[in-house]
Homo-oligomer: A and B are copies of this chain.
Amino acid sequence: MKNLTYTFETSLPFYDFDAMGILWHGNYIKYMEQAREAFLSHYALTYKQMFDYGYAEPVTNLQISYKASLIYGDTLVMEITYKPSLTAKLAFEYKFYRKKDMMLMCEASTEQYFTHNGELSLNRPDFYKKWQEKIGVL
């Protein structure tokens, strides 16, 4: 199976910085969701589509490791990697870099399970299998 990585950059709004003058650590959880949305949109699978099929993908596990702190004016480079599997879950890894020197600021990972009309899905939904084939990760 082949990992798939998508990279993009973003400026950081003033209101995301804390009273220490650094990016508040909790904001990475927003950037991780943005990164998933950007990845899935880039590979033509949106949450809205999945929702229209009756599926939701709640985050079940999340892990963040902080290396250094960003300050206001820094640009953030987000790298999100999809870790494909044959189970009914979505797994992503994230690396966040400071653009000016590509220093690694933060690493993270998430797991999401599929639910269908509120019930946990034991197998991969059909639309998801097709999507995995289309993007060529299996």
Q: Report A's interface with B, CB cutoff 8 A.
A: 11, 13-15, 17-22, 24-26, 29-30, 33-34, 37, 41, 46-48, 56, 58-66, 69, 72-73
Contacts and interface: CB of A to CB of B under 8 A. Distances in A.
A33 B26 contact: yes
A53 to B, nearest CB: 14
Closest A-B pairs by Cβ, 3 of them: A17-B19, A26-B29, A62-B64
A78 to B, nearest CB: 13
A15 B34 CA distance: 9
A9 to B, nearest CB: 15
Given A47-B72, A59-B66, 9 more contacts: A15-B30, A18-B18, A19-B19, A22-B58, A26-B29, A46-B73, A48-B73, A58-B69, A61-B65
Contacts of A15: 18, 24, 26, 30, 33
Contact of A25 (B17, B25, B26, B62): B62
Nearest to A73: B48
Contacts of A73: 46, 48
Contact of A64 (B13, B61, B65): B61
26 contacts: A13-B30, A13-B33, A13-B34, A14-B19, A14-B37, A15-B18, A15-B24, A15-B30, A15-B33, A18-B18, A18-B19, A19-B72, A22-B58, A25-B58, A25-B59, A26-B30, A26-B33, A47-B72, A60-B65, A61-B64, A61-B66, A62-B63, A62-B64, A62-B65, A62-B66, A63-B64
